[in-house]
A and B are shown apart, each in its own frame.
Chain A
């Protein structure tokens, strides 16, 4: 009897915490999103679905933009992160762990501080652009800051390690003899890669994709530091509506729409791939 109870006792605190501070708040937010009123008179539960109509019609542009920026950042992360993870896993030799540490080290500097540092670095006449301009490599009025590419690159920068690690974890666990065999069997290295290495590493790419796409889509720090007019992301709207305008129902409704869009993606993704596998990869 006692043995049977053990797992429940072990899991209980974790369950309680996640239920109280994750599941219930989500439900609370759902409830809040259907209220109407204002901060002075209070918000009353009226099952006011119009909040959702409002939220979607007013902010669809920012929502779509955020999804595109998130996608862009994820693609850049794969393009940059995969080769790096591949090289470290297969050619890193005895320095593998050192390389990985180097990839992780930027995390010791606060996210906000890193992003603000980029802003200084990318300034029109700053260290990078100023130098290039003084050599005549760029036109004098060239600028990166306050544009969409600056935001997307900032997002990719901040979340790159989340892509490298899962891909590395999968490649690292691969039986290297399989690769050698493939090299022997297939004519070209490219074929060996496409037919053997890539398929095995796909779960890592998927896991990395989730871990970059979701946070980048909902981020607003990069957009507000590196962006300009026309780069506002949905996270920023949510923040403004909650903390500045105190328009809780609309804020909650937008948040829910964002989450619904993302969850839909995650669940279809997870059904195709199997979340067990994704989570294993993340853990590594």
Chain B
């Protein structure tokens, strides 16, 4: 999905046909963006809300104090750490396994390829509630305890296919002549892979890994089934609705969002550099 983002130097369609009239498409797109960002704006604004009680609902004045106290709720901080740890581990494990699978699917013809594609497709399409329920069923039948490991197993499971597809798409577009050239020059298969194939695949592997990370930290439904005694960031927020979500949640949401914006800006700047 994110592979799209690398494609910045694409032909620029109807450029040069500038007509001075209302650009409805542009207005529409900006309208859609406004819709997408409305609740996020709200979330950010209320991270600065100087509330007295526990319910961060009505505007009571501007303050920066919640940023100073961002980590005051030990459990919320712990939940965030769990989420990040699971996200990073998922990125590494699913990134590795998924990339290998993607490489196999994109480069080789082998028995079981069709079935593999089918299972991956089913895993991507299966609703989260089904995945969560199925895993919990298995854990119940086999008597595996739910918890951190269970969440990790589940997250790797539902992100592998996304990584594999991203990597496969890149493998298909690689020029096999490059690898052949390397072999002609006397490189062994491992050396060829390390010095030629891997560097070319690296952007796709990174994109796949980041996608896995993003899907993992965002997940609520599957996690809620297999979490056992572990509380992740989304689970904590869900639980806190009972007593009122503390502004620290808005603060953390805003900080994570800020990291995302920073990454996006870097991406745009780098793309611009590459083009010029």
- List residues of chain A with CB under 8 Å of any chain B CB: 6-8, 10-11, 13-15, 17-19, 21-26, 28-29, 31-32, 80-81, 83-84, 86-91, 93-94, 96-114, 116-118, 120-121, 123, 127, 157, 160-161, 165, 168-169, 172, 176, 179, 210, 214-215, 217-221, 235, 238-239, 242-243, 248, 251-252, 255, 258-259, 262-263, 266, 270, 275-276, 278-280, 282-284
Contacts and interface: CB of A to CB of B under 8 A. Distances in A.
Interface stretch (B70-78, B133-141, B174-182): B133-141
B101 A11 contact: yes
A28 B168 CA distance: 30
Interface string B231-255: 0011001100100010001000100
Interface residues of B, number: 105
B127 A93 contact: no
Given A108-B214, A121-B39, A266-B125, 19 more contacts: A6-B108, A7-B104, A11-B110, A17-B160, A21-B138, A25-B138, A91-B25, A103-B32, A107-B260, A111-B220, A116-B237, A117-B40, A117-B42, A210-B125, A243-B225, A255-B129, A259-B127, A262-B127, A279-B121
Interface in B101-121: 101, 103-105, 107-110, 112, 116-121
Contacts of A84: 28-29, 32
Contacts of A283: 1, 3, 165-166, 168-169
A258 B13 CA distance: 43
A116 B56 CA distance: 12
A29 B129 contact: no
28 contacts: A7-B110, A10-B104, A11-B105, A13-B101, A21-B156, A21-B157, A22-B126, A32-B140, A32-B141, A87-B28, A89-B13, A100-B4, A103-B32, A103-B36, A106-B37, A107-B218, A109-B40, A109-B257, A110-B234, A112-B238, A113-B237, A157-B36, A176-B13, A176-B14, A219-B128, A259-B126, A282-B124, A283-B165
B93 to A, nearest CB: 9
B85 interface: no
A14 B8 contact: no
Contacts of A86: 25
B26 A91 contact: yes
A163 to B, nearest CB: 11
Interface string B120-159: 1111111111110111111011100000000001101100
Nearest to A111: B218
A201 to B, nearest CB: 14
Contact of A15 (B43, B116, B129, B233): B116
Nearest to A269: B125
A275 B121 contact: yes
Contacts of A111: 218-220, 234
A218 B237 contact: no
Question: Which of the listed residues A25, A32, A118, A214 has the most CB atoms from chain B within 10 Å of its own CB?
Answer: A25
B135 A218 contact: no
A22 B39 contact: no
Interface in B1-55: 1-5, 7-8, 10-15, 23, 25-26, 28-29, 32-33, 35-40, 42-43, 46
B264 interface: yes
Contacts of A106: 36-37, 40
Interface of chain A: mostly helix, strand, loop or mixed: helix
B201 interface: no
Contacts of A108: 214, 256-257, 259-261
B198 interface: no
B121 A97 contact: no
A10 B103 contact: yes
Nearest to A113: B253
Contacts of A275: 117-118, 121
Contacts of A17: 97, 156-157, 160
Given A7-B104, A93-B15, A239-B224, A105 B261 contact: yes
Nearest to B123: A22
A18 B123 CA distance: 8
Nearest to A35: B141
B272 to A, nearest CB: 8
Contacts of A220: 129, 221
B26 A14 contact: no
A157 B35 CA distance: 8
B101 to A, nearest CB: 3
Contact of B169 (A19, A93, A218, A284): A284
Contact of A279 (B42, B120, B154): B120
